[in-house]
């Protein structure tokens, strides 16, 4: 049974999106020293070890743990790290990946056989218009390939959300830790296949304390805290209350990238952000407002 979304869960969700938003800058820093797939593999290795030896496996089927680990580890972060490694600016990546909200709600509606309302089609058009603005200004730090990779990451995130909701009210830290085990083998395999053993050995040999601190933050702050807390919220509160909070991720992401990486914020980026965030907001709040007006 879901609960009312009060101040405490709001503050917890705000802390999660602040971590997720500013994390795009940290990812960019880590990619200066590590190949993307190796970086992702190390992130999920530290998310699983050593806690997997101390936390009891959650009472969910192995297939759900495996599906979540692969979807979030390989699908979301594997694609996202590759994208930020030269194909899209970190601030823009934090914006485009929020299309997961549209995918998450669409998948939830598909599960209940509910048809999209006209206002939701309008919301989709706004979000697509925002993506079109971004694609119209590719070149340099942002490419069509990078945008496509981040959209793929967003879709994988939304599928992971569905698996996590299906798990119900379980120990979400244990769920994230145990599912991370299933992300590690495919990520390392892909790293050796596409990045090569020499590049991996060189990166690991040159990694200093700062690099390992970045990897540790990915595991502890972003994965354990972020996804553990987000899953805990999704299991206890309506998706329509939790999901809108992720609209603040690009606010933190674009702001942090501008502040720390000097990523420019030209007018077209602000227009794209307004269209995408506006479309996601309409998609989330529009149907509720229409129902209230009809009552």
Could you give the CA distance from residue 109 to residue 24 in angstroms, rounded to a whole number? 30
Entry pTM: 0.84
pLDDT at 32: 93
Could you give the CA distance from residue 26 to residue 256 in angstroms, rounded to a whole number? 10
Examine residue 123 and state whether it is found in any structural domain, yes or no: no
pLDDT at 289: 62
pLDDT at 269: 86
Examine residue 210 and state whether it is found in any structural domain, yes or no: yes
Examine residue 129 and state whether it is found in any structural domain, yes or no: no
Could you give the CA distance from residue 43 to residue 37 in angstroms, rounded to a whole number? 10
The pLDDT tens digits for 155-164 are 998 899 889 8
Could you give the CA distance from residue 261 to residue 244 in angstroms, rounded to a whole number? 27
Q: What residue ranges of the chain have pLDDT lower than 50?
A: 1
Examine residue 289 and state whether it is found in any structural domain, yes or no: no
State the DSSP string of 91-124: HHHHHHGGGHHHHHHHHHHHHHTPPPPHHHHHHH
pLDDT at 41: 97
Closest CA to 99 of 70, 82, 79: 79
Could you give the CA distance from residue 14 to residue 122 in angstroms, rounded to a whole number? 27
pLDDT at 284: 65
pLDDT at 290: 59
Examine residue 125 and state whether it is found in any structural domain, yes or no: no
Give the total number of structural domains in the chain: 1
* Domain of residue 102, residue span: 7-116+142-264
pLDDT at 203: 95
CA atoms 181, 174, 97, 284: torsion sign? positive
pLDDT at 178: 95
């Amino acid at each position: 049974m879901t609960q009312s979304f009060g101040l405490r869960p709001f503050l917890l969700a705000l802390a999660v999106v602040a971590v997720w938003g500013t994390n795009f800058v940290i990812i960019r820093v880590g990619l200066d020293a590590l190949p993307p797939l190796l970086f992702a593999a190390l992130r999920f290795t530290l998310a699983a070890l050593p806690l997997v030896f101390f936390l009891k496996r959650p009472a969910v089927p192995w297939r759900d743990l495996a599906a979540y680990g692969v979807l979030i580890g390989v699908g979301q972060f594997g694609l996202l790290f590759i994208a930020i490694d030269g194909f899209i600016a970190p601030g823009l990546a934090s914006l485009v990946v929020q299309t997961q909200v549209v995918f998450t709600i669409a998948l939830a509606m598909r599960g209940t056989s509910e048809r999209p309302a006209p206002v939701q089609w309008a919301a989709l058009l706004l979000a697509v218009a925002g993506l079109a603005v971004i694609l119209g200004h590719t070149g340099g730090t942002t490419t069509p390939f990078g945008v496509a990779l981040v959209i793929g990451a967003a879709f994988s995130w939304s599928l992971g959300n569905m698996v996590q909701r299906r798990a119900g009210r379980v120990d979400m830290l244990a769920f994230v830790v145990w599912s991370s085990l299933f992300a590690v083998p495919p990520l390392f395999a892909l790293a050796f296949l596409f990045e090569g053993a020499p590049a991996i050995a060189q990166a690991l040999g040159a990694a200093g304390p700062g690099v390992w601190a970045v990897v540790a933050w990915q595991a502890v702050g972003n994965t354990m805290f972020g996804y553990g807390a987000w899953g805990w919220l999704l299991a206890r509160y309506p998706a329509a209350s939790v999901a809108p909070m992720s609209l603040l991720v690009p606010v933190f992401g674009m702001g942090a990238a501008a502040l720390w990486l000097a990523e420019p914020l030209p007018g077209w980026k602000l227009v794209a952000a307004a269209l995408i965030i506006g479309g996601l907001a309409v998609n989330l709040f529009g149907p509720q407002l229409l129902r209230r007006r009809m009552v």
